[in-house]
Amino acid sequence: MKKIIFVAGARPNFMKIAPLLRALKHSAAVRPVIVHTGQHYDTNMSAAFFSDLDINQPHYNLEVGSGTHAEQTAAIMTRFEKVCLAEKPAMVVVVGDVNSTIAAGLVAKKCGVCLAHVEAGLRSRDLAMPEEINRMATDAITDLFFTTEPEAKRNLLAEGHADAKIHFVGNVMIDNLLYQLDKVKKRPSSGTAKTIKKLLPAKYLCLTLHRPSNVDNRETFTGIVTALAKASASAPIVFPCHPRTRAKIAAFGLSGKFIESGKTDRKLTSGICLLGPLGYNDFLYLWKDAAAVVTDSGGLQEETTALTIPCITIRNNTERPITVSAGSNVLAGIDPGRIMALIEKVLAGTWKKSSVPKLWDGKASERIAKILIKN
C-alpha cells in the first residue's frame, strides 16, 4: 500500500485536503497520513475544521504557531523532516500557497520524495505577495501539478515544466463547497451565524479582510472601512473578523465604525456587524444567501464564482483570473469610491450574469485520486 502524506496548515488547506481524503477513503492502494503543521492554531481556525469538514484528526500536529515568515517556514521544515524520515512516504501532497506549502515541499524534495501540488500554476504577478513567492517556489520543485483552470497550465508550460506532469482536474475547493453546502441545507447552523441571520434583511453582504497589504496600513485600512461603512447604510454587512484584523481595528481607532454582534439583538438594517471567526459551515450558512461577498481572500473568489454570487475583491490583482472572466468577480482595488460604486451596482441589481468554469463540478478530487493511485 502506497503511503501519501497530506499537509495542511492554514484555513484554506483544510478545505482542499478534505475532499481528497474522502475520495481516497475506501482505496486499498493508498494509506493517507495527515500532517497538520499548526500554522493556524486557534481552535476556530484549525481544529474545529476537522469536525466541520469530516476529516479524521491528523496523525501529526507540528504545532509551529505564529512567527515571521522565516521563523514559521523554518520551524515547519525542521519538524516535518522528522515526519518524512519516520514515515518514508512515497509521495507528499501540498495544497495552496501558504508557508506550510513551500516548507513541506522543500523537505519532501530534499528527502527524495515525489511532490504533488494541488492548485498549482496560479500566478498574480505580484512579488509583494508572500503567497506568490510560495506558489512560484513550490512549483519550481514539484513533480505532479494539479491545476484548477487553463491559465494555470499555460503558466507552468511557460516556466518550462513538462506537459505530461500537468493535470487539469478542476477545483477541489468547489468539491468541498458543494459537499458542505449539502450538509448546511440538511442541518442549518444553530449558533452565532443562525442568531445573526435572523436579524438580517433579505438583502445583505458578507465581508472578509485579512491581507497585510489591506489591514496593516492605517491609511489604506481606514479608507476601506470608511467606504464599507458608508455602503452599509443601504444594506448591512456581516464581518467574521480574523483576530489579527480585529487588533488593527482597535489600534487604528476604527471600532466606532462597527456593530459588535454580542451587543445587538435588533434587526440589522444597516451597519457593519463584527463577529468572531466562524467555522467553515457557519460562514457558508451566512454568505451563500448574501447579495454579494466583499473579500481579499483567494478561496472566496472561487467559491462565489461556483455559486454565481457577485464578489467584490479588494485587491489590484488576482491569481485566479478565471473568476473575473467568468463574470462573478470584479477587482475593486483599494479605491473607496470604486468599492462603494460596486456595492451600489450589486444592490441595484445590475451585476452582469456569470458562468461556472469548466470542471468546477465537484469531482476534481476523484480525478486527482485516480492519478495519485497510478503514480
Task: Output the domain CATH number for residue 99.
Answer: 3.40.50.2000
Is 179 domain-assigned? no
Give yes or no: residues 105 and 164 share one domain.
yes
Q: Above pLDDT 70, what percent of the chain?
A: 96
Q: Above pLDDT 90, what percent of the chain?
A: 82
Q: How many domains does the chain have?
A: 2
Find the domain containing 165 and state its range.
Answer: 2-171+360-374
Residues with Cβ within 8 Å of residue 42, at least 6 apart in sequence: 243, 277
pLDDT of 47 > 60? The answer is: no
Give yes or no: residues 160 and 253 share one domain.
no
Give yes or no: residues 158 and 300 share one domain.
no
In this predicted model, what pLDDT tens digit does every residue of 287-329 receive, in sequence order? 999 999 999 999 999 999 999 999 999 999 999 999 999 999 9
In this predicted model, what pLDDT tens digit does every residue of 159-209 receive, in sequence order? 999 999 999 999 999 999 999 999 999 888 778 899 999 999 999 999 999
pLDDT of 242 > 90? The answer is: no
Is 281 domain-assigned? yes
Give yes or no: residues 55 and 95 share one domain.
yes
Is 185 domain-assigned? no
Give yes or no: residues 165 and 208 share one domain.
no
Is 108 domain-assigned? yes
For residues 214 and 266, which has the higher predicted lDDT (pLDDT)? 214
pLDDT of 282 > 80? The answer is: yes
Give yes or no: residues 138 and 166 share one domain.
yes
Is 183 domain-assigned? no
Give yes or no: residues 339 and 201 share one domain.
yes
Give yes or no: residues 150 and 220 share one domain.
no
In the predicted model, what is the mean pLDDT of the chain?
93
Give yes or no: residues 364 and 339 share one domain.
no
CA distance 182 to 186: 6
Give yes or no: residues 229 and 100 share one domain.
no
Is 320 domain-assigned? yes
pLDDT at 44: 52
Give yes or no: residues 344 and 364 share one domain.
no
pLDDT of 9 > 70? The answer is: yes
Summarize the confidence of residues 117-122 as an average pLDDT.
98
Question: pLDDT confidence of 40, banded at 50, 70, 90?
Answer: low
Give yes or no: residues 53 and 151 share one domain.
yes
Residues that are catalytic: 210
Is 290 domain-assigned? yes
Is 78 domain-assigned? yes
In this predicted model, what pLDDT tens digit does every residue of 333-370 receive, in sequence order? 999 999 999 999 999 999 999 999 999 999 999 999 99
pLDDT at 261: 82
pLDDT of 33 > 80? The answer is: yes
